[in-house]
Amino acid sequence: MPEKISINVNSEIGELEAVILHKPGLEVENMTPRNAQRALYSDILNLSVAQKEYSQLSCLLAGLTKTLYVEDLLRDVLSMPDCKESLIRKICHNEAQSGLILPLMGIDSPKLANQLIQGVPIKRDTITNFFNEDNYSLAPLHNFFFTRDASVSIHNKVLISSMANRVRVRESFIMQAIFEYHPFFQAGTIDPLNVETIDPSFKIEGGDILIAREDILIIGIGARTSSQGIDFILEQLKSDSKKQHIIVQELPFEPESFIHLDMVFTLLDKNCCMVYEPLILTPNRFKTVHIEFENGKVTSISIVENIPSVLRSLGMDLEIAYCGGKGDDMIQEREQWHSGANFFAFAPGKVIGYNRNTYTLENMNKAGFEILKAKDVNAGKSNPRDYKRCVVTIDGSELARGGGGARCMTMPVARKDVD
């Protein structure tokens, strides 16, 4: 058995030691124009193209770090009778399908893992099911290749997300089961889904949570994370006596490209960040709030100018790279729409992003980032280790249409600490 993984993520940019991925599969293809909007897509994807693009990401990461896959981990924990029954009951009760509990219990672990992700086809054996227009009793998890959303590593624990949309709650149940039962992980979990007194408006998703430094969290508040969700995180900090800072950034509820903070702000290096200028730097109605926390208590809450300015006051003076470059609002808007601000760091100053966002990449190049192609890295034609700063680009004609980028598709569980 592989060595156990101790959860350790104290920054966004520390050298990556282990990451969880999920390859898009039939669950993506099991979508039609009729149900795409309910599945949180504005369009349906071409699976074969999406898989080719995703393979660039997965092969790249496999050459850099330990990569784990959701379906493999789920298959393992479903072989444990207690986990299998608990997870099936939780899923079926949540999705009002209690009649499926016994049939699902009789399915072997590999097939069951597939069905819990790709969907459980409906049986037309009752008049109710016969007239049901859906094809599935348990819908496919169309969004699961965005593994960042359903859980997030914060220091030495994993926060299980309280998803904003019911169609995605099963993803959180699956990740909770993996971290609770799988022998790979030495993980304490923070699971708001088990809190009986939780506010019904409570929402947290991983794409809204960034770790700027061991003592600084940056959290987006908007369509996918609510104020109650952030208050829940504050409650978890009460047991920590160290001084800590939470920076909260309000996000627009529309358009859909603003669903998470990492669609407008990500960290690239110890001293560099990526911003979508119109929201993060240009004066607007969306507030940036600085919360100071010490000895288990909130000591101050205040409105500040913007994220880079408050980070500067805390000793993080960041050089700024611009999504869509500078000076053209239309270009900035177009590249932000296609996840132009959504970068994933696998080491300080070494990140992954889409190659379609050419103005963003040009701006990064001016900031000292060498532009490499994932195809070339995977073929051994270039090596990120040869550069102090680089961005490795993957194709994104289909993946970007799903509404997320490289950070959305990666859930790190271990990074080396950064000075």
In the predicted structure, residue 19 carries a pLDDT above the cut 70: yes
Mean pLDDT within 298-322: 97
Whichever domain contains 115, its CATH number is 3.75.10.10
**What does the radius of gyration of the chain's CA atoms come to, in whole angstroms?**
21
Least Cα distance to 230 among 240, 220, 242, 238 occurs for 220
Least Cα distance to 323 among 396, 249, 273, 261 occurs for 273
Secondary structure class of 353 (helix, strand, coil): strand
Residue 2 DSSP symbol: P
Mean pLDDT within 300-327: 97
Mean pLDDT within 225-236: 92
What is the pTM assigned to this prediction? 0.94
In the predicted structure, residue 362 carries a pLDDT above the cut 70: yes
Cα 106 to Cα 110, 330, 339, distances in angstroms? 12, 54, 42
How do residues 382-405 score in pLDDT, each as one tens digit? 999 999 999 999 999 899 888 899
Mean pLDDT within 259-285: 97
Q: What pLDDT score was predicted for residue 132? A: 64
Token representation of residue 166: 């019911």
Mean pLDDT within 406-415: 98
Name the percent of the chain lying above pLDDT 70: 92
Distance between CA atoms of residues 129 and 106, nearest Å = 21
Distance between CA atoms of residues 289 and 291, nearest Å = 6
Q: What pLDDT score was predicted for residue 305? A: 97
User: For the chain, what is the domain count?
Assistant: 1
Question: For residue 66, with 0-12 CB atoms within 10 Å meaning exposed, 13-18 middle and 19 or more buried, which class applies?
Answer: middle
Secondary structure class of 344 (helix, strand, coil): strand
In the predicted structure, residue 3 carries a pLDDT above the cut 90: no
**Mean pLDDT score across all residues of the chain:** 92
Please give the residue range of the domain that contains residue 379: 5-415
Q: What pLDDT score was predicted for residue 2? A: 60
C-beta separation of 150 from 206 below 8 A: yes
Mean pLDDT within 13-29: 95
How do residues 134-160 score in pLDDT, each as one tens digit? 778 899 999 999 999 999 999 999 999
Cα 307 to Cα 276, 281, 321, 349, distances in angstroms? 12, 8, 14, 19
Containing 66, the helix (H) or strand (E) segment is: strand 66-69
Quickly state the pLDDT bin for 33 (edges 50, 70, 90): low
How do residues 185-219 score in pLDDT, each as one tens digit? 988 899 887 765 566 788 999 999 999 999 999 99
The string over 114-131, giving b where at least 16 C-beta atoms fall within 10 Å of a residue's C-beta and e elsewhere, is bbbbbbbebeeeeeeeee
- Identity of the residue numbered 393: T
Quickly state the pLDDT bin for 124 (edges 50, 70, 90): low
Q: Could you tell me which residue, 121 or 339, shows the higher pLDDT? A: 339
Quickly state the pLDDT bin for 38 (edges 50, 70, 90): very low
C-beta separation of 53 from 399 below 8 A: yes
Residue 8 DSSP symbol: B
For 168, half-sphere exposure in the C-beta direction (CA atoms, 13 angstrom radius) is 25
Q: What pLDDT score was predicted for residue 32? A: 59
Distance between CA atoms of residues 216 and 211, nearest Å = 6
